[in-house]
């Protein structure tokens, strides 16, 4: 029940490539539209929420 099924290596590799390409293409589009700074703000907020909420409870 608590085992997280590890992702297979081919899936991880394809996810790696997809994420890099998606990031590159999205940034190119955003830079063309002049919205790159706003997008990095939204991304930073999402990342801050992810790394904050995901930590184990200490207190």
24 binds another protein (CB under 8 A): yes
In the complex, least distance from residue 52 CB atom to another protein, rounded to whole angstroms: 3
Which distant-in-sequence residues (6+ apart) come within 8 Å of 15 by Cβ?
Answer: 7
Q: Pick the binder of another protein from 4, 8, 10, 34 (CB under 8 A).
A: 4
- 6, 18, 56: which is closest to 26 by C-alpha? 18
Dist. CA 26–CA 46, nearest whole Å: 16
Residues in contact with another protein by CB under 8 A are 1-4, 7, 9, 12-13, 15-16, 19-28, 30-32, 36-37, 40-41, 43-59
């Amino acid at each position: 029940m608590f085992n997280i099924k590890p992702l297979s290596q081919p899936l991880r590799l394809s996810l790696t490539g997809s994420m890099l390409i998606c990031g590159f293409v999205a940034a190119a589009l955003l830079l063309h539209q002049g919205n790159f700074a706003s997008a990095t703000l939204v991304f930073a907020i999402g990342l801050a929420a992810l790394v904050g909420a995901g930590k184990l409870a200490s207190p």
